[in-house]
């Protein structure tokens, strides 16, 4: 039986110890494995850490392109064990680490389990991932957005637009504003401050001419936000989005959908089904997508995403 090899992309990061040595140790280990063939690797890029609480040293980041006939789960497990062998300890999220190895792409596969999501869920907006990746694999296609890595990098380099919050009411938006260091403004689409849905839109030509951009300042960042809760509005205004932010909601899960069905509440059922369809469409946006899975992390995730795009 003919073995099928997958074209894969792995991200390397290190900000503890001898960072360059760790990178060469990773390359040596991959080269010695009988089931891998390294195609190329990028240069090392120095980047500022994001998301961490304590002051940290700068990272060295790189990308490694390889082919393998190992299944994705086994490849990810091997990378995890390689991290451990090089001194990686996992105590809290966004902590400093000797070695961080993330499986970014595994061919054109979309895969999700409790321990692994492919493509990597945060790669589409992280400059420190995309820049080294584009040095060696700019033509590789991100299977969800269907954009090449080069196009994704061009998007965050050149796109000036709003953050589009999908499935978010104004009340939920207010909660997020309290947990983020970024100043968020609902602008330029007028919002219904009770229902949290777009109910009055500027003329299309005026909206297109507005200058929408993320603004850096000494005190942090500011961003325009569009709240979208229906597919028609998403379709009309997605071209204005620099980043799609999908927020967690009980109504977007299949389990919640079944609960609503059992409730025999036709209005709620229709709203829930519409929201599920909206989330499905937004997750396939042709550009960067941040999918937040835990409300407690929403503010921190947004801050980190914006920092990673700069």
Q: Which residues are catalytic?
A: 88, 97, 100, 102
CB 229 within 8 A of CB 196: yes
Give the rounded distance of the alpha carbon of 223 from its chain centre.
17
Helix axes 19-32, 72-85, angle to 10 degrees: 140
> 125: Cβ–Cβ under 8 A, 6 or more apart, which residues?
152, 156, 243, 288, 289, 290, 305, 308, 309
Neighbour-count burial for 116-129, b at 16+ CB within 10 Å, e otherwise: bebbbebbbbbbbb
Q: Which two tokens stand for residue 122?
A: 């945060």
SS3 call for 20: helix
What one-character DSSP code corresponds to residue 141?
B
83 pairs with which residues across the strands? none
**DSSP H or E segment with residue 130:** helix 127-137
Measure the CA–CA gap between 233 and 67, rounded to whole angstroms.
Answer: 41
| Percentage helix, strand, coil for the chain under 3-state DSSP, each rounded to 5 | 40, 25, 35
> Distances in Å between the alpha carbon of 156 and those of 67, 124, 143, 149, 294?
28, 9, 18, 11, 25
CB of 289 closer than 8 Å to CB of 145:
yes
């Amino acid at each position: 039986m003919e073995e099928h090899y997958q074209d894969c992309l792995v991200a390397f990061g290190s900000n503890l110890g001898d960072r360059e040595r760790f990178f060469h140790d990773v390359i040596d280990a991959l080269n010695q494995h009988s089931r891998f063939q390294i195609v190329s690797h990028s240069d090392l890029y120095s980047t500022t850490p994001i998301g961490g609480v304590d002051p940290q040293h700068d990272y060295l980041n790189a990308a490694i392109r390889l082919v393998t006939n190992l299944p994705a789960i086994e490849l990810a497990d091997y990378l995890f064990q390689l991290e451990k062998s090089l001194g990686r300890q996992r105590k809290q999220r966004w902590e400093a680490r000797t070695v961080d190895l993330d499986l970014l792409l595994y061919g054109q596969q979309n895969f999700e389990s409790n321990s692994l999501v492919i493509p990597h869920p945060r790669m589409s907006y992280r400059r420190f991932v995309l820049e080294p990746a584009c040095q060696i694999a700019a033509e590789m296609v991100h299977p969800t957005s269907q954009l090449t890595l080069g196009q994704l990098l061009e998007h965050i380099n050149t796109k000036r637009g709003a953050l589009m919050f999908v499935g978010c009411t104004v009340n939920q938006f207010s909660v997020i504003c309290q947990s983020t260091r970024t100043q968020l403004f609902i602008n330029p689409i007028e919002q219904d401050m009770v229902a949290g849905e777009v109910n009055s839109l500027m003329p299309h030509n005026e909206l297109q001419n507005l200058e929408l951009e993320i603004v850096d300042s000494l005190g942090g960042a500011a961003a325009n936000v569009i709240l979208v809760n229906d597919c028609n509005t998403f379709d009309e205004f997605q071209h204005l989005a620099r980043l799609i932010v999908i927020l967690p909601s009980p109504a977007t899960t299949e389990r919640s959908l079944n609960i609503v069905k059992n409730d025999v509440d036709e209005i709620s059922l229709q709203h829930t089904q519409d929201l599920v369809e909206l989330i499905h469409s937004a997750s396939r946006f042709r550009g960067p997508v941040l999918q937040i899975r835990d409300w407690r992390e929403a503010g921190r995730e947004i801050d980190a995403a914006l920092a990673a795009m700069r």
